[in-house]
Chains A and B, each alone.
Chain A
Amino acid sequence: MRKKLLSIFLCIVMAVTMLTGCGGKSTTTGKDGGSKKEDTKKDDEKPTATPAVTTVGEGTPLEMWTFVELHSKFYAKMVDKWNKENPDKKVKITFTTYPYADMHNKLTMALQTGEGAPDLCDVEIGQFPNFTKDTSSLYPLDDAIKPYQDKLVKARLDIYSKDGKIYGAPTHVGATVMYYNTKILKQYGIDYTKIKTWDDYAAAGEKLKKASNGKVMMTSVDTASVDWMWIAMSEYGEDWTTTKDGKANVQLKSVKKMLNMQAKWLKDKIAMVSPGGHVDMEEGFANIGDGKIASFPKALWYMSRFLSYMPEMKGQWAIAPCPVFEEGQPRSVGIGGTGTIVTQQSKNAKLAAEFIAYAKCSEEGEKGIWNELGFDVCNTSIWNDESITKDKTNKYLQYFVTNPFDVLNEVKDEIGKINVKEISTTINSQMCDTTLNEIFEDGVSVDDALQEAQDAVDSEQ
């Protein structure tokens, strides 16, 4: 009997160990799983599937991880400039580009175990709260950023700060604007400059539907991104991460208004659901490129997507402030971003911090960010620097019908800020996995879906 029991036990043990052994070999894909859950997308082209490693410069060796290859290319150029300007503090940086989710997971584990983290690392804003849960593993950047601080948009430094210390060097403002396809709108006799409110927007959508026989829709609503909610919250000055009692609340007036409005658009067939869940992925680019939708709101960093994925649409797209629910509301919100961190594991943390502050926050760096990556930089003096804003050779200024800097200066004081906190990751995954799908795909009522979302968020706080 005992033998029998023992043998059965051993059999189970063997089976379990064998199976988990098989299951333990997991590899992750280069596909971005992050943007579905995070409230922000890549600032740039899709991450590569294989880690690309390059070493630049000569001097103190540093290691840096990014999730966008273009970023490493930009930093590499800044290494050369830094070494020219600081011959006594030369750096030699080895850049590794990982897929989005892999890089953040690797960094989490490296900081948790206290081994193997790089000196510098790009962290996407949606992931940032996961790393500031415990700031002991991050090196504060206050001293390094100080020389440039007065010229930077303070709100962008705040989102990467905790307890009064800055832990991430910002990349851009991420002002959200409306992109309009002027070619389509003109063809059907619609003047986008007249659109001021969401009611105007819906009316234009109706007109477009009739004129084009339902071939073109006004926009596409997202099931895997919360950008639209952010726009609504900014307009009403609300923020779902922080309400009066300091708790997160997704049942806000602004969110309800936006969701009900979008559900109505779908019913009236003036909008479609974004193929693939949101516009910042292959299916989305194809949908825009095929002229199926005439407009959509997105942060200014989306300009680079046009150049990368829809170069043939040059001269068709205009940029304008977002419509509002009631005239006089703020017409933009800062979405997305990458904060670059320096880890405490770095042997040369001070040097790494000085370099990254120079590369991202100095005038030189900011100009580079605009020219290379096409981002609306945090240094507002550049927004009025005519050598930049009127630069005829710039590929971004050439592509669009309107000048992005005009729009940026117009909404300069209306760019709302939504906090990204620890609870944000829960809110976003609940919204993008469940709530938005229920409302837009399954026809669940907005109130029910939001109540369910609130319950899920409450269980986390």
Chain B
Amino acid sequence: MHIPDGFLPLWESALFWIISLIFVAKSIMWAKNNLDEKSVPLFAALAAGIFAIQAMNMPIPWGTSGHMVGSALTAIVFDSPWAGILMLTLVLIVQGVFFADGGILAMGANIFNMGVVGAFVGYYVFKALKKSNVALASFLGGWSATFIAAIICAIELAIGGVFPIDKGLMYMGLYHFFIGIIEGIITAIVVAYLKSAKPELLKSLNTQ
């Protein structure tokens, strides 16, 4: 879902950089107030895992592929959407700077879609459902994060004039409906693993 440079007009790229930097600044404040020393290795381990699995595109129908995003997972593990935003900002910097995955000018929009939208949607869907079933809540958190981020992405590209709104929404929605299933499954697997192996690190299950 990485928007390359050239898809968005310059003014829109600049606008989303400004919006995203406000969220990134808030995520830095979150870390300064909430990220404890014990969680640092887990944050780095998650970063490595998300980076590696993001780069491995998995096939979905219609000759299309999809990849992990990981902001919902990070937000669930650290019990805060701000953690997901900080994580995706770092992942997108490495992807954009070293691997030309997503444009540098479009990075603000990519941080907004995959980081901000993904983390908030994923976190609050999980939070709303976790009492009934943690695995299902994790799956739906991951799925909805990807799906809604793709819808927002389609709207941005329509505002920028490169996608028609109706077809853009239809195809982005259709493809990411399926890509979200991959996101949901991986999110549920990692949450289930941490719940059984390292429950003390899974912050969102330790607070009400």
Partners in one complex: no
Using a CB–CB cutoff of 8 Å, the interface residues on chain A facing chain B are: none
